[in-house]
């Protein structure tokens, strides 16, 4: 899943993973979980993640390499938030070749910067289930135990967007050249976006 912060990558990745019985690998979730549990990795990355910067490539690639070899990835995986730099993209191609696999599709969820700020300021995540809500667009059930991400403050969102435009957006052309990119209008309602994503993923499996 490619797209700016708040494009809906996590929301859509969960739906695709469930529908096609794939593992859902979110590098952001893995970093946040390690930060919460105060592991060595968590301590290494907390300042970077909270400031909206990118974790160094070597660390991120090693983590994904390890994760992709787990049993639940046998049927395939949805990568959410990875790769995010040209070096990560090259590393992923090599890694998948080593594992005898390849990328089937790169859904690029396109959303304007102005919409990103609105979405992330209203995002809340259920602490127990990890389910993603939005106070206005996808309201949580009453009584849910919710969390507002530390990097979802307006200043940090702007910094994340800058990182995205400088380092990740060039991957759009990279995957387009490889014939893998499928652009999706991420500003439609969640179920409309899902229907498009699912249809495009389905087409690669026919
Ligand atoms: P990560 O967790 O990957 O954050 P991100 O890419 O900034 O993406 P988000 O999780 O903010 O948004 P999303 O696109 O998943 O949107 P969501 O579905 O939640 O990364 C966090 C940090 O970890 C990075 O800044 C970096 O420090 C580090 N990191 C992670 N991966 C890395 C890597 N590969 N290399 C280096 N560092 C890395 O939706 C957002 C909101 O909008 C929700 O409230 C949702 O309900 C709502 N919404 C979704 N779709 C719609 C819709 N269609 N209409 C209206 N509202 C919608």
**7 Cβ below 6 A of ligand 1:** yes
**16 Cβ below 6 A of ligand 1:** no
Q: Is 2 exposed, middle or buried (0-12, 13-18, 19+ CB in 10 A)?
A: buried
Long-range contacts from 33-41, C-beta under 8 angstroms, 24+ separation: none
Alpha helices (H) along 57-206: 57-68, 86-98, 113-122, 154-163, 170-177, 190-205
Q: What mean pLDDT do residues 180-205 have?
A: 97
**What is the pLDDT at residue 206?**
76
Residue 147 domain-assigned?
A: no
**Rounded to whole angstroms, how far apart are CA atoms 140 and 115?**
20
Q: Is 32 a catalytic residue?
A: no
Residue 138 domain-assigned?
A: no
Residue 51 domain-assigned?
A: yes
**CATH number, domain at 105?**
3.40.50.300
Encode pLDDT of 37-68 as tens digits. Answer: 999 999 999 999 999 999 999 999 999 999 99
Structure confidence at residue 117 as a pLDDT band (50, 70, 90)? very high
Q: How many domains does the chain have?
A: 1
Encode pLDDT of 128-163 as tens digits. Answer: 998 999 999 999 999 999 999 999 999 999 999 999
Q: What mean pLDDT do residues 23-36 have?
A: 96
Q: What mean pLDDT do residues 100-108 have?
A: 97
Q: Is 205 a catalytic residue?
A: no
CA of 95 to the centre of ligand 1 (A): 24
Encode pLDDT of 60-81 as tens digits. Answer: 999 999 999 999 999 999 999 9
Encode pLDDT of 159-177 as tens digits. Answer: 999 999 999 999 999 999 9
Instruction: Give the range of the structural domain holding residue 105, as residue numbers without chain letter.
Output: 9-121+152-204
Residue 144 domain-assigned?
A: no
**119 Cβ below 6 A of ligand 1:** yes
């Amino acid at each position: 899943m490619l797209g700016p912060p708040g494009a809906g990558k996590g929301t859509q990745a969960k739906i695709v993973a469930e529908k096609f019985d794939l593992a859902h690998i979110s590098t952001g979730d893995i970093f946040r979980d390690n930060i919460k549990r105060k592991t060595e990795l968590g301590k290494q990355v907390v300042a970077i993640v909270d400031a909206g910067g990118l974790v160094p490539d070597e660390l991120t690639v090693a983590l994904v390499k390890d994760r992709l070899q787990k049993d639940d990835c046998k049927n395939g995986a949805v990568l959410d938030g990875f790769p995010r730099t040209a070096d990560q993209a090259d590393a992923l191609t090599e890694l998948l070749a080593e594992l005898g696999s390849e990328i089937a599709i790169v859904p690029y969820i396109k959303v304007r910067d102005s919409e990103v700020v609105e979405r992330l300021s209203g995002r809340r995540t259920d602490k127990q289930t990890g389910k993603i809500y939005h106070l206005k667009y996808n309201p949580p059930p009453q009584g849910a135990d919710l969390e507002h991400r530390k990097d979802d403050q307006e200043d940090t969102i702007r910094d994340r967007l800058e990182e995205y435009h400088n380092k990740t957006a060039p991957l759009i052309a990279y995957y387009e050249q490889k014939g893998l990119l499928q652009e999706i209008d991420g500003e439609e309602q969640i179920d409309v976006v899902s229907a498009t994503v699912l249809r495009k993923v389905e087409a690669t499996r026919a």
